[in-house]
A and B are shown apart, each in its own frame.
Chain A
Amino acid sequence: MKEMLKADQITFRYAETGRPAVDGLSLTVRRGEYVAVLGANGCGKSTLAKHFNAILLPETGTVTVEGMSTADEDRLFDIRQKVGMVFQNPDNQIVATVVEEDVAFALENLGVPPDEMRRRVDEAMRMAGVYNYREKAPHKLSGGQKQRVAIAGVVAMRPDCLVLDEATAMLDPIGREKVMRTVHRLNREYGITVVQITHYMEEAAAADRVVVMSEGKIALEGTPTEVFRQVDRLRALRLDVPQAAELCHALTQAGCPMPDGVIDVEGCAAALYRLLTGRDAPDAENAKEVAACPQP
Protein backbone atom coordinates (compact mmCIF):
# COMPACT_ATOMS: atom_id res chain seq x y z
CA MET A 1 0.00 0.00 0.00
CA LYS A 2 1.18 3.47 -0.87
CA GLU A 3 1.85 5.95 1.85
CA MET A 4 -0.56 8.84 2.15
CA LEU A 5 0.93 10.98 4.89
CA LYS A 6 4.42 10.85 6.20
CA ALA A 7 5.85 12.83 9.09
CA ASP A 8 9.58 12.40 9.38
CA GLN A 9 11.29 13.43 12.61
CA ILE A 10 9.17 16.55 13.01
CA THR A 11 9.55 19.03 15.83
CA PHE A 12 7.32 22.02 16.44
CA ARG A 13 7.09 24.54 19.22
CA TYR A 14 4.65 27.40 19.72
CA ALA A 15 6.30 30.77 20.19
CA GLU A 16 4.56 31.37 23.52
CA THR A 17 5.60 28.23 25.38
CA GLY A 18 9.05 27.24 24.19
CA ARG A 19 8.47 23.59 25.07
CA PRO A 20 8.12 21.52 21.89
CA ALA A 21 4.50 20.53 21.27
CA VAL A 22 5.64 17.87 18.83
CA ASP A 23 9.05 16.44 19.53
CA GLY A 24 10.92 14.44 16.90
CA LEU A 25 7.85 12.49 15.88
CA SER A 26 7.70 10.14 12.89
CA LEU A 27 4.48 8.66 11.61
CA THR A 28 3.41 7.11 8.34
CA VAL A 29 -0.22 6.72 7.33
CA ARG A 30 -0.96 4.36 4.48
CA ARG A 31 -3.55 5.01 1.82
CA GLY A 32 -7.02 3.85 2.86
CA GLU A 33 -6.02 3.37 6.46
CA TYR A 34 -8.08 4.52 9.46
CA VAL A 35 -5.76 5.83 12.16
CA ALA A 36 -6.91 7.13 15.53
CA VAL A 37 -4.60 9.41 17.49
CA LEU A 38 -5.14 9.43 21.23
CA GLY A 39 -3.55 11.38 24.01
CA ALA A 40 -4.23 13.44 27.10
CA ASN A 41 -4.85 17.18 26.75
CA GLY A 42 -1.79 19.08 25.60
CA CYS A 43 0.05 16.04 24.30
CA GLY A 44 0.44 17.63 20.86
CA LYS A 45 -2.12 15.63 18.95
CA SER A 46 -3.92 18.65 17.51
CA THR A 47 -0.61 20.26 16.64
CA LEU A 48 0.32 17.10 14.75
CA ALA A 49 -2.98 17.19 12.87
CA LYS A 50 -2.36 20.75 11.73
CA HIS A 51 0.90 19.64 10.13
CA PHE A 52 -0.87 17.33 7.73
CA ASN A 53 -2.26 20.07 5.52
CA ALA A 54 0.34 22.77 5.97
CA ILE A 55 -1.54 24.88 8.52
CA LEU A 56 1.62 24.52 10.56
CA LEU A 57 5.05 23.81 9.16
CA PRO A 58 7.51 21.75 11.20
CA GLU A 59 10.50 23.49 12.70
CA THR A 60 12.71 20.56 11.83
CA GLY A 61 11.89 17.45 9.85
CA THR A 62 9.48 17.14 6.94
CA VAL A 63 5.84 16.29 6.35
CA THR A 64 4.91 14.88 2.98
CA VAL A 65 1.46 14.32 1.51
CA GLU A 66 1.61 11.75 -1.29
CA GLY A 67 5.22 12.73 -1.78
CA MET A 68 4.59 16.51 -1.79
CA SER A 69 6.35 18.41 0.96
CA THR A 70 4.07 20.70 2.96
CA ALA A 71 6.85 23.27 2.93
CA ASP A 72 6.47 23.60 -0.86
CA GLU A 73 4.31 26.70 -1.28
CA ASP A 74 3.54 26.00 -4.92
CA ARG A 75 1.75 22.82 -3.94
CA LEU A 76 -0.14 24.37 -1.02
CA PHE A 77 -3.58 24.17 -2.62
CA ASP A 78 -2.90 20.67 -3.96
CA ILE A 79 -2.08 19.58 -0.44
CA ARG A 80 -5.08 21.26 1.13
CA GLN A 81 -7.32 19.74 -1.49
CA LYS A 82 -5.89 16.26 -0.86
CA VAL A 83 -6.04 16.48 2.92
CA GLY A 84 -9.32 17.85 4.24
CA MET A 85 -9.57 19.02 7.83
CA VAL A 86 -12.61 18.97 10.08
CA PHE A 87 -12.34 20.83 13.37
CA GLN A 88 -13.96 20.56 16.76
CA ASN A 89 -16.49 23.38 16.70
CA PRO A 90 -18.94 22.94 13.85
CA ASP A 91 -20.12 26.54 14.16
CA ASN A 92 -16.72 27.98 13.47
CA GLN A 93 -16.08 26.22 10.20
CA ILE A 94 -19.27 26.89 8.32
CA VAL A 95 -18.90 29.99 6.19
CA ALA A 96 -22.07 30.34 4.15
CA THR A 97 -25.63 30.96 5.26
CA VAL A 98 -27.11 28.03 3.32
CA VAL A 99 -25.94 24.42 3.65
CA GLU A 100 -25.34 23.75 -0.02
CA GLU A 101 -23.46 26.99 -0.49
CA ASP A 102 -21.19 26.09 2.37
CA VAL A 103 -20.52 22.69 0.84
CA ALA A 104 -19.66 24.52 -2.36
CA PHE A 105 -17.28 26.95 -0.63
CA ALA A 106 -14.08 24.98 -1.26
CA LEU A 107 -15.03 24.31 -4.86
CA GLU A 108 -15.75 28.00 -5.39
CA ASN A 109 -12.29 28.75 -4.08
CA LEU A 110 -10.75 26.19 -6.40
CA GLY A 111 -12.52 27.74 -9.37
CA VAL A 112 -14.52 24.67 -10.36
CA PRO A 113 -16.98 25.44 -13.19
CA PRO A 114 -20.61 25.84 -11.92
CA ASP A 115 -22.06 22.75 -13.69
CA GLU A 116 -19.43 20.42 -12.33
CA MET A 117 -19.67 22.14 -8.97
CA ARG A 118 -23.40 21.40 -8.76
CA ARG A 119 -22.71 17.70 -9.38
CA ARG A 120 -19.90 17.47 -6.87
CA VAL A 121 -21.81 19.39 -4.20
CA ASP A 122 -24.82 17.08 -4.55
CA GLU A 123 -22.54 14.05 -4.48
CA ALA A 124 -20.72 15.29 -1.36
CA MET A 125 -23.98 16.09 0.41
CA ARG A 126 -25.27 12.58 -0.31
CA MET A 127 -22.01 11.01 0.87
CA ALA A 128 -22.19 12.89 4.17
CA GLY A 129 -25.94 12.35 4.51
CA VAL A 130 -26.93 16.01 4.57
CA TYR A 131 -28.70 16.16 1.21
CA ASN A 132 -32.07 16.60 2.91
CA TYR A 133 -31.00 19.79 4.63
CA ARG A 134 -29.35 21.33 1.58
CA GLU A 135 -31.43 24.51 1.63
CA LYS A 136 -31.50 25.04 5.37
CA ALA A 137 -29.60 27.67 7.32
CA PRO A 138 -26.72 26.11 9.28
CA HIS A 139 -27.81 27.61 12.61
CA LYS A 140 -31.08 25.69 12.38
CA LEU A 141 -29.26 22.33 12.38
CA SER A 142 -28.13 20.25 15.34
CA GLY A 143 -24.45 19.90 16.22
CA GLY A 144 -24.12 16.50 14.56
CA GLN A 145 -25.84 17.73 11.42
CA LYS A 146 -23.60 20.80 11.30
CA GLN A 147 -20.52 18.64 11.68
CA ARG A 148 -21.67 16.46 8.80
CA VAL A 149 -22.18 19.61 6.73
CA ALA A 150 -18.56 20.50 7.53
CA ILE A 151 -17.52 17.01 6.45
CA ALA A 152 -19.50 17.39 3.21
CA GLY A 153 -17.76 20.71 2.59
CA VAL A 154 -14.43 18.95 2.82
CA VAL A 155 -15.50 15.83 0.93
CA ALA A 156 -16.63 18.01 -1.99
CA MET A 157 -12.93 18.69 -2.70
CA ARG A 158 -12.59 14.92 -3.28
CA PRO A 159 -9.77 14.61 -0.78
CA ASP A 160 -7.74 11.43 -0.44
CA CYS A 161 -7.45 11.93 3.27
CA LEU A 162 -9.68 13.29 6.01
CA VAL A 163 -8.16 14.64 9.21
CA LEU A 164 -10.67 14.98 12.04
CA ASP A 165 -9.38 17.13 14.85
CA GLU A 166 -11.62 16.12 17.78
CA ALA A 167 -14.52 16.53 15.41
CA THR A 168 -16.94 14.75 17.73
CA ALA A 169 -15.90 16.40 20.99
CA MET A 170 -18.74 18.92 21.08
CA LEU A 171 -21.50 16.59 19.94
CA ASP A 172 -24.18 14.74 21.85
CA PRO A 173 -24.01 10.91 21.75
CA ILE A 174 -26.49 10.58 18.88
CA GLY A 175 -24.77 13.23 16.77
CA ARG A 176 -21.41 11.60 17.50
CA GLU A 177 -22.68 8.20 16.49
CA LYS A 178 -23.99 9.55 13.17
CA VAL A 179 -20.81 11.45 12.40
CA MET A 180 -18.73 8.35 13.16
CA ARG A 181 -20.90 6.20 10.93
CA THR A 182 -20.49 8.75 8.13
CA VAL A 183 -16.71 8.82 8.54
CA HIS A 184 -16.43 5.03 8.60
CA ARG A 185 -18.55 4.79 5.46
CA LEU A 186 -16.32 7.32 3.70
CA ASN A 187 -13.33 5.22 4.70
CA ARG A 188 -14.80 1.85 3.72
CA GLU A 189 -16.79 2.69 0.62
CA TYR A 190 -14.78 5.50 -0.90
CA GLY A 191 -11.35 4.49 0.34
CA ILE A 192 -10.69 7.86 1.96
CA THR A 193 -7.82 7.68 4.43
CA VAL A 194 -8.88 8.89 7.87
CA VAL A 195 -6.75 10.32 10.63
CA GLN A 196 -8.92 10.90 13.66
CA ILE A 197 -7.73 12.85 16.65
CA THR A 198 -9.99 11.93 19.54
CA HIS A 199 -10.23 11.29 23.22
CA TYR A 200 -13.12 8.87 22.98
CA MET A 201 -11.71 5.38 23.44
CA GLU A 202 -14.75 3.78 21.81
CA GLU A 203 -14.03 5.71 18.63
CA ALA A 204 -10.39 4.71 18.66
CA ALA A 205 -11.34 1.06 19.18
CA ALA A 206 -13.04 1.09 15.77
CA ALA A 207 -9.91 2.26 13.93
CA ASP A 208 -7.40 0.14 12.01
CA ARG A 209 -4.53 1.51 14.01
CA VAL A 210 -4.22 3.48 17.22
CA VAL A 211 -1.42 5.91 17.95
CA VAL A 212 -1.09 7.14 21.52
CA MET A 213 0.81 10.38 21.99
CA SER A 214 2.40 11.76 25.08
CA GLU A 215 4.45 14.93 25.41
CA GLY A 216 4.85 15.33 21.68
CA LYS A 217 6.05 11.80 21.09
CA ILE A 218 4.42 8.51 20.17
CA ALA A 219 4.06 6.48 23.34
CA LEU A 220 2.18 3.47 22.02
CA GLU A 221 1.19 2.29 18.59
CA GLY A 222 -0.60 -0.72 17.16
CA THR A 223 -3.98 -2.24 16.42
CA PRO A 224 -6.71 -1.27 18.90
CA THR A 225 -6.46 -4.71 20.51
CA GLU A 226 -2.72 -4.41 20.98
CA VAL A 227 -3.02 -0.94 22.46
CA PHE A 228 -6.04 -1.36 24.71
CA ARG A 229 -4.69 -4.59 26.15
CA GLN A 230 -2.11 -2.45 27.97
CA VAL A 231 -4.54 -1.05 30.49
CA ASP A 232 -1.93 -0.10 33.10
CA ARG A 233 0.29 1.61 30.56
CA LEU A 234 -2.63 3.68 29.26
CA ARG A 235 -3.60 4.66 32.79
CA ALA A 236 -0.06 5.88 33.36
CA LEU A 237 -0.50 8.09 30.30
CA ARG A 238 -3.65 9.57 31.90
CA LEU A 239 -5.91 7.83 29.44
CA ASP A 240 -8.98 5.68 29.82
CA VAL A 241 -9.56 2.41 28.12
CA PRO A 242 -12.86 1.39 26.50
CA GLN A 243 -15.30 0.24 29.18
CA ALA A 244 -15.38 -3.28 27.77
CA ALA A 245 -11.59 -3.56 27.92
CA GLU A 246 -11.61 -2.18 31.43
CA LEU A 247 -14.18 -4.74 32.56
CA CYS A 248 -12.21 -7.62 31.04
CA HIS A 249 -9.04 -6.33 32.63
CA ALA A 250 -10.70 -6.12 36.05
CA LEU A 251 -12.17 -9.61 35.67
CA THR A 252 -8.83 -11.07 34.64
CA GLN A 253 -7.16 -9.46 37.62
CA ALA A 254 -9.87 -10.86 39.87
CA GLY A 255 -9.01 -14.30 38.57
CA CYS A 256 -11.75 -14.86 35.98
CA PRO A 257 -10.53 -16.65 32.88
CA MET A 258 -11.37 -13.92 30.36
CA PRO A 259 -9.89 -14.13 26.88
CA ASP A 260 -7.22 -11.61 26.01
CA GLY A 261 -7.73 -8.63 23.75
CA VAL A 262 -11.45 -7.98 24.10
CA ILE A 263 -12.05 -4.28 23.46
CA ASP A 264 -15.61 -3.83 22.26
CA VAL A 265 -19.01 -4.40 23.82
CA GLU A 266 -20.01 -7.26 21.49
CA GLY A 267 -16.78 -9.15 22.08
CA CYS A 268 -17.04 -8.64 25.79
CA ALA A 269 -20.64 -9.83 25.83
CA ALA A 270 -19.74 -12.98 23.88
CA ALA A 271 -16.86 -13.72 26.24
CA LEU A 272 -19.06 -13.28 29.28
CA TYR A 273 -21.72 -15.50 27.75
CA ARG A 274 -19.13 -18.20 27.26
CA LEU A 275 -17.83 -17.73 30.77
CA LEU A 276 -21.23 -17.86 32.42
CA THR A 277 -23.04 -20.51 30.37
CA GLY A 278 -20.06 -22.59 29.35
CA ARG A 279 -21.00 -22.57 25.68
CA ASP A 280 -20.38 -20.28 22.76
CA ALA A 281 -22.73 -17.47 22.08
CA PRO A 282 -24.86 -19.00 19.30
CA ASP A 283 -24.36 -16.25 16.80
CA ALA A 284 -23.51 -12.62 16.46
CA GLU A 285 -27.21 -11.78 16.60
CA ASN A 286 -27.47 -13.29 20.04
CA ALA A 287 -24.32 -11.58 21.22
CA LYS A 288 -25.94 -8.30 20.37
CA GLU A 289 -28.99 -9.30 22.35
CA VAL A 290 -26.83 -10.03 25.35
CA ALA A 291 -25.08 -6.72 24.87
CA ALA A 292 -28.42 -4.96 24.84
CA CYS A 293 -29.37 -6.38 28.26
CA PRO A 294 -30.01 -3.68 30.81
CA GLN A 295 -26.99 -3.15 32.96
CA PRO A 296 -27.44 -3.30 36.73
Chain B
Amino acid sequence: MLRDITIGQHFPGNSLLHRMDPRVKLVLTVAYIVMLFVGSNPAGLAISIVFLTALYLTAKIPLKMVARSVKPILPIILFTAVLNLFFMTGTSEPLLAWWIFKIYREGVYYAIVMAVRIICLIAGTSLLTYTTSPIVLTDAIEQLLKPLARLHLPVHELAMMMTIALRFIPTLIEETDKIMNAQKARGAQLDSGKLSQRVRALIPVLIPLFISAFRRADELAMAMECRCYHGGEGRTRLKQLRLHASDIVLAAAAALVFAAIGMSNLFFERIG
Protein backbone atom coordinates (compact mmCIF):
# COMPACT_ATOMS: atom_id res chain seq x y z
CA MET B 1 0.00 0.00 0.00
CA LEU B 2 2.71 2.43 0.97
CA ARG B 3 4.84 1.35 -1.96
CA ASP B 4 2.55 3.12 -4.37
CA ILE B 5 3.51 6.58 -3.18
CA THR B 6 5.63 8.24 -5.82
CA ILE B 7 8.39 10.47 -4.59
CA GLY B 8 8.51 13.84 -6.23
CA GLN B 9 6.73 14.15 -9.52
CA HIS B 10 9.47 13.17 -11.87
CA PHE B 11 8.28 12.13 -15.31
CA PRO B 12 11.27 10.41 -16.90
CA GLY B 13 11.93 11.16 -20.53
CA ASN B 14 14.57 12.18 -23.00
CA SER B 15 13.21 15.39 -24.44
CA LEU B 16 15.08 18.64 -24.98
CA LEU B 17 13.74 19.87 -21.64
CA HIS B 18 14.74 16.70 -19.81
CA ARG B 19 18.29 17.02 -21.05
CA MET B 20 18.54 20.71 -20.29
CA ASP B 21 21.04 21.84 -17.69
CA PRO B 22 19.12 21.75 -14.37
CA ARG B 23 20.74 25.00 -13.25
CA VAL B 24 19.38 26.82 -16.28
CA LYS B 25 15.98 25.23 -15.73
CA LEU B 26 15.94 26.31 -12.11
CA VAL B 27 16.95 29.90 -12.91
CA LEU B 28 14.41 30.10 -15.73
CA THR B 29 11.67 28.79 -13.48
CA VAL B 30 12.41 31.46 -10.89
CA ALA B 31 12.49 34.09 -13.64
CA TYR B 32 9.19 32.77 -14.95
CA ILE B 33 7.56 33.13 -11.55
CA VAL B 34 8.80 36.71 -11.32
CA MET B 35 7.54 37.46 -14.83
CA LEU B 36 4.11 36.06 -13.98
CA PHE B 37 3.83 38.74 -11.34
CA VAL B 38 5.40 41.47 -13.44
CA GLY B 39 3.33 40.81 -16.52
CA SER B 40 0.12 40.15 -14.68
CA ASN B 41 -2.35 41.19 -17.37
CA PRO B 42 -4.42 39.34 -19.97
CA ALA B 43 -1.81 39.64 -22.73
CA GLY B 44 1.06 38.65 -20.43
CA LEU B 45 -0.86 35.67 -19.16
CA ALA B 46 -1.84 34.66 -22.69
CA ILE B 47 1.83 34.66 -23.69
CA SER B 48 2.66 32.61 -20.57
CA ILE B 49 0.01 30.06 -21.42
CA VAL B 50 1.21 29.69 -25.00
CA PHE B 51 4.82 29.44 -23.81
CA LEU B 52 3.97 26.81 -21.19
CA THR B 53 1.88 24.77 -23.60
CA ALA B 54 4.77 24.79 -26.06
CA LEU B 55 7.14 23.60 -23.32
CA TYR B 56 4.78 20.84 -22.17
CA LEU B 57 4.51 19.65 -25.75
CA THR B 58 8.29 19.67 -26.15
CA ALA B 59 8.71 17.72 -22.92
CA LYS B 60 6.03 15.27 -24.15
CA ILE B 61 4.22 15.54 -20.84
CA PRO B 62 0.46 15.02 -21.21
CA LEU B 63 -1.44 18.21 -20.43
CA LYS B 64 -3.71 16.32 -18.09
CA MET B 65 -0.72 16.20 -15.72
CA VAL B 66 -1.30 19.93 -15.25
CA ALA B 67 -4.81 19.19 -14.04
CA ARG B 68 -3.38 16.67 -11.62
CA SER B 69 -0.89 19.13 -10.14
CA VAL B 70 -3.46 21.94 -9.93
CA LYS B 71 -6.06 19.75 -8.21
CA PRO B 72 -4.65 19.91 -4.66
CA ILE B 73 -4.60 23.71 -4.64
CA LEU B 74 -8.00 24.12 -6.27
CA PRO B 75 -9.54 25.32 -2.96
CA ILE B 76 -6.97 28.12 -2.76
CA ILE B 77 -7.68 29.17 -6.33
CA LEU B 78 -11.41 29.19 -5.71
CA PHE B 79 -10.97 31.05 -2.44
CA THR B 80 -8.95 33.87 -4.00
CA ALA B 81 -11.30 34.00 -6.97
CA VAL B 82 -14.33 34.32 -4.72
CA LEU B 83 -12.64 36.99 -2.60
CA ASN B 84 -11.79 39.00 -5.68
CA LEU B 85 -15.25 38.53 -7.07
CA PHE B 86 -16.99 39.98 -4.04
CA PHE B 87 -14.57 42.50 -2.65
CA MET B 88 -13.45 44.24 -5.79
CA THR B 89 -15.34 47.48 -6.17
CA GLY B 90 -15.57 49.18 -9.51
CA THR B 91 -16.66 52.52 -10.83
CA SER B 92 -19.39 51.28 -13.12
CA GLU B 93 -22.76 49.83 -12.19
CA PRO B 94 -22.57 46.46 -10.42
CA LEU B 95 -23.35 43.51 -12.68
CA LEU B 96 -25.22 41.82 -9.91
CA ALA B 97 -26.43 43.04 -6.58
CA TRP B 98 -28.00 40.90 -3.94
CA TRP B 99 -28.33 41.85 -0.27
CA ILE B 100 -24.86 43.15 0.74
CA PHE B 101 -23.08 41.48 -2.18
CA LYS B 102 -22.29 43.45 -5.26
CA ILE B 103 -20.33 42.00 -8.14
CA TYR B 104 -18.63 44.44 -10.49
CA ARG B 105 -17.06 43.87 -13.88
CA GLU B 106 -13.65 44.53 -12.36
CA GLY B 107 -14.29 41.81 -9.82
CA VAL B 108 -14.95 39.19 -12.49
CA TYR B 109 -11.92 40.37 -14.44
CA TYR B 110 -9.65 40.23 -11.40
CA ALA B 111 -10.95 36.85 -10.31
CA ILE B 112 -10.24 35.30 -13.69
CA VAL B 113 -6.78 36.85 -14.04
CA MET B 114 -5.78 35.79 -10.53
CA ALA B 115 -6.98 32.22 -11.00
CA VAL B 116 -5.19 31.89 -14.33
CA ARG B 117 -2.06 33.33 -12.76
CA ILE B 118 -2.00 30.77 -9.97
CA ILE B 119 -2.63 27.92 -12.42
CA CYS B 120 0.24 29.17 -14.61
CA LEU B 121 2.44 29.34 -11.52
CA ILE B 122 1.72 25.75 -10.54
CA ALA B 123 1.96 24.43 -14.08
CA GLY B 124 5.30 26.21 -14.61
CA THR B 125 6.94 24.99 -11.42
CA SER B 126 5.56 21.47 -11.92
CA LEU B 127 7.23 21.39 -15.30
CA LEU B 128 10.56 21.74 -13.51
CA THR B 129 9.92 18.76 -11.24
CA TYR B 130 8.37 16.73 -14.06
CA THR B 131 11.46 17.03 -16.23
CA THR B 132 14.16 17.01 -13.55
CA SER B 133 14.85 14.14 -11.17
CA PRO B 134 15.14 15.20 -7.51
CA ILE B 135 18.79 14.13 -7.43
CA VAL B 136 19.74 16.30 -10.36
CA LEU B 137 17.72 19.12 -8.89
CA THR B 138 19.64 18.80 -5.61
CA ASP B 139 22.89 19.02 -7.56
CA ALA B 140 21.69 22.13 -9.33
CA ILE B 141 20.63 23.78 -6.07
CA GLU B 142 24.02 22.98 -4.55
CA GLN B 143 25.87 24.46 -7.50
CA LEU B 144 23.73 27.56 -7.69
CA LEU B 145 23.98 28.26 -3.98
CA LYS B 146 27.72 27.63 -3.89
CA PRO B 147 28.60 31.34 -3.70
CA LEU B 148 26.59 31.54 -0.47
CA ALA B 149 28.96 29.04 1.14
CA ARG B 150 31.35 31.95 1.52
CA LEU B 151 28.83 33.50 3.86
CA HIS B 152 29.14 30.31 5.95
CA LEU B 153 25.83 28.96 4.73
CA PRO B 154 26.07 25.14 4.96
CA VAL B 155 25.23 24.61 1.27
CA HIS B 156 27.02 21.29 0.84
CA GLU B 157 25.56 19.92 4.05
CA LEU B 158 22.05 20.85 2.99
CA ALA B 159 22.53 19.17 -0.37
CA MET B 160 23.97 16.07 1.31
CA MET B 161 20.98 15.93 3.65
CA MET B 162 18.64 16.17 0.67
CA THR B 163 20.46 13.36 -1.11
CA ILE B 164 20.42 11.08 1.91
CA ALA B 165 16.74 11.85 2.52
CA LEU B 166 15.92 10.95 -1.09
CA ARG B 167 18.03 7.83 -0.85
CA PHE B 168 16.35 6.61 2.32
CA ILE B 169 12.70 7.42 1.57
CA PRO B 170 12.14 4.10 -0.27
CA THR B 171 14.07 2.19 2.39
CA LEU B 172 12.06 3.68 5.22
CA ILE B 173 8.78 3.20 3.38
CA GLU B 174 9.63 -0.47 3.02
CA GLU B 175 10.48 -0.62 6.68
CA THR B 176 7.23 1.11 7.70
CA ASP B 177 5.37 -1.46 5.66
CA LYS B 178 7.16 -4.27 7.50
CA ILE B 179 6.53 -2.76 10.94
CA MET B 180 2.86 -2.19 10.13
CA ASN B 181 2.52 -5.81 9.09
CA ALA B 182 4.32 -6.92 12.23
CA GLN B 183 1.97 -4.86 14.39
CA LYS B 184 -1.06 -6.10 12.48
CA ALA B 185 0.13 -9.64 13.13
CA ARG B 186 0.05 -8.73 16.81
CA GLY B 187 -3.53 -7.57 16.51
CA ALA B 188 -3.05 -3.85 15.94
CA GLN B 189 -5.97 -2.23 14.15
CA LEU B 190 -4.37 0.33 11.89
CA ASP B 191 -7.13 1.05 9.45
CA SER B 192 -10.32 0.81 11.42
CA GLY B 193 -11.83 2.65 14.34
CA LYS B 194 -12.23 6.32 15.07
CA LEU B 195 -9.66 8.85 13.95
CA SER B 196 -8.27 9.25 17.47
CA GLN B 197 -7.92 5.47 17.76
CA ARG B 198 -6.19 5.22 14.44
CA VAL B 199 -3.77 7.97 15.36
CA ARG B 200 -3.01 6.18 18.62
CA ALA B 201 -2.51 2.91 16.76
CA LEU B 202 0.25 4.58 14.76
CA ILE B 203 2.43 5.13 17.82
CA PRO B 204 3.65 1.51 17.95
CA VAL B 205 4.58 1.90 14.29
CA LEU B 206 6.38 5.20 14.62
CA ILE B 207 8.51 4.35 17.65
CA PRO B 208 10.27 1.33 16.10
CA LEU B 209 10.61 3.30 12.88
CA PHE B 210 12.35 6.14 14.67
CA ILE B 211 14.65 3.86 16.61
CA SER B 212 15.61 2.03 13.45
CA ALA B 213 16.15 5.32 11.61
CA PHE B 214 18.59 6.43 14.29
CA ARG B 215 20.42 3.12 14.11
CA ARG B 216 20.63 3.44 10.35
CA ALA B 217 21.93 6.99 10.67
CA ASP B 218 24.64 5.78 13.02
CA GLU B 219 25.75 3.02 10.66
CA LEU B 220 25.54 5.26 7.62
CA ALA B 221 27.71 7.88 9.30
CA MET B 222 30.30 5.22 10.06
CA ALA B 223 30.22 3.92 6.49
CA MET B 224 30.63 7.48 5.21
CA GLU B 225 33.61 8.05 7.49
CA CYS B 226 35.14 4.82 6.23
CA ARG B 227 34.95 6.27 2.77
CA CYS B 228 36.83 9.37 3.84
CA TYR B 229 33.85 11.74 4.04
CA HIS B 230 34.90 14.98 5.63
CA GLY B 231 32.38 17.58 4.53
CA GLY B 232 32.28 19.57 1.34
CA GLU B 233 35.81 20.85 1.45
CA GLY B 234 37.99 19.78 -1.48
CA ARG B 235 35.25 17.57 -2.84
CA THR B 236 34.95 16.83 -6.56
CA ARG B 237 31.94 15.44 -8.37
CA LEU B 238 31.59 12.53 -10.76
CA LYS B 239 28.87 14.20 -12.76
CA GLN B 240 29.89 17.61 -13.93
CA LEU B 241 27.11 19.91 -15.01
CA ARG B 242 28.03 21.43 -18.36
CA LEU B 243 26.25 24.10 -20.33
CA HIS B 244 25.43 22.97 -23.85
CA ALA B 245 24.65 25.10 -26.87
CA SER B 246 21.03 23.95 -26.71
CA ASP B 247 20.78 25.27 -23.14
CA ILE B 248 21.87 28.70 -24.27
CA VAL B 249 19.45 28.68 -27.20
CA LEU B 250 16.57 27.67 -24.93
CA ALA B 251 17.55 30.24 -22.32
CA ALA B 252 17.69 32.96 -24.97
CA ALA B 253 14.28 31.94 -26.31
CA ALA B 254 12.86 32.01 -22.80
CA ALA B 255 14.41 35.44 -22.23
CA LEU B 256 12.67 36.75 -25.36
CA VAL B 257 9.33 35.37 -24.17
CA PHE B 258 9.88 36.92 -20.75
CA ALA B 259 10.69 40.24 -22.41
CA ALA B 260 7.42 39.97 -24.33
CA ILE B 261 5.55 39.30 -21.11
CA GLY B 262 7.18 42.36 -19.57
CA MET B 263 6.32 44.49 -22.61
CA SER B 264 2.68 43.51 -22.36
CA ASN B 265 2.48 45.88 -19.40
CA LEU B 266 2.83 48.78 -21.84
CA PHE B 267 -0.48 47.86 -23.42
CA PHE B 268 -2.48 46.49 -20.53
CA GLU B 269 -2.88 47.58 -16.97
CA ARG B 270 -1.01 45.41 -14.48
CA ILE B 271 -3.23 43.56 -12.08
CA GLY B 272 -2.63 42.39 -8.53
Binding site of B, secondary structure by majority: helix, strand, loop or mixed? helix
| Contact (Cβ within 8 A) B240 A114 | yes
B219 near A77: Cβ-Cβ < 8 Å: no
Of residues 108 through 157 on chain A, the ones whose CB sits less than 8 Å from some CB of chain B are 108-114, 117-118, 121, 137-139, 150, 153-154, 157
B240 / chain A contacts, CB cutoff of 8 Å:
114
Residues in A79-99 with C-beta less than 8 Å from chain B: 80-81, 84-85, 87, 89, 91-98
Q: Does B222 interact with chain A (Cβ within 8 Å)?
A: yes
Chain B residues near A94 (CB-CB < 8 A): 167
CB neighbours of B224 from chain A (8 A): 95, 105
* A109 engages B229 (CB within 8 Å): yes
- Bitwise, B31-57 to A at CB < 8 A (1) or not (0) is 000000000000000000000000000
Q: Which of A80, A87, A97 has the most CB of B within 10 A?
A: A97
- In the complex, are the beta carbons of B220 and A106 less than 8 A apart? no
A161 within 8 A of B: no
* Closest Cβ neighbor of B215 among chain A residues: A92
Instruction: With CB as the reference atom, state the residue of chain B lying closest to A93.
Output: B223
Q: Is B216 an interface residue (CB 8 A)?
A: yes
* With contact pairs A87-B219, A111-B234, A138-B167 given, residues A101 and B239 touching in the complex (Cβ less than 8 Å): yes
A114 closest partner in B (C-beta): B240
**Residue among B216, B222, B229 making CB contact with A91, cutoff 8 Å:** B216
Chain B residues within an 8 Å CB radius of A107: 236, 238
Set of chain B residues within 8 Å of A112, measured between Cβ atoms: 236
Tell me which residues from 227 to 250 in chain B have a Cβ below 8 Å from any Cβ of chain A. Answer: 227-230, 234-240
Contacting residues, chain A, for B216 (C-beta < 8 A):
89, 91-92
Residue of B nearest to A110 (CB): B228
Tally of contact residues, A, Cβ under 8 A: 40
A109 touches which one: B170, B174, B235 (CB < 8 A)? B235
Q: Which residue of A lies closest to B170 (CB)?
A: A139
Q: Which residues of B have CB within 8 Å of A81?
A: 228
Distance in angstroms between the alpha carbons of A112 and B240 in the assembled complex:
13
Distance between Cα atoms of A87 and B215 in the complex (Å):
13
* Known contacts A97-B166, A153-B227; A92 and B238 CB within 8 A of each other: no
Bitwise interface map of B from 120 to 159 toward A, beta carbon under 8 Å scored 1, else 0: 0000000000000011000000000000000000000000
Instruction: Determine if A33 is an interface residue (Cβ-Cβ < 8 Å).
Output: no
When the two chains form the complex, which single residue of A89, A113, A138, A153 contacts B236, counting CB atoms closer than 8 Å? A113
A87-B222, A96-B167, A97-B163 known; A77 vs B230 contact (CB < 8 Å): yes
Q: How far is the CA of A121 from the CA of B174 in the complex (A)?
A: 29
| Residue B95 CB within 8 A of the other chain | no
* Cβ-defined contact, A109 with B167, below 8 A: no
Nearest 9 pairs between A and B by C-beta? A93-B223, A106-B227, A104-B238, A92-B219, A139-B170, A85-B226, A109-B228, A111-B234, A97-B167
Can you give 27 contacting A-B residue pairs, CB < 8 Å?
Answer: A53-B226, A77-B228, A77-B230, A87-B223, A89-B216, A92-B216, A92-B219, A92-B220, A93-B219, A94-B167, A95-B163, A95-B224, A95-B227, A96-B163, A97-B135, A97-B163, A101-B135, A101-B238, A104-B238, A105-B229, A109-B228, A109-B229, A112-B236, A114-B236, A114-B237, A139-B167, A139-B174
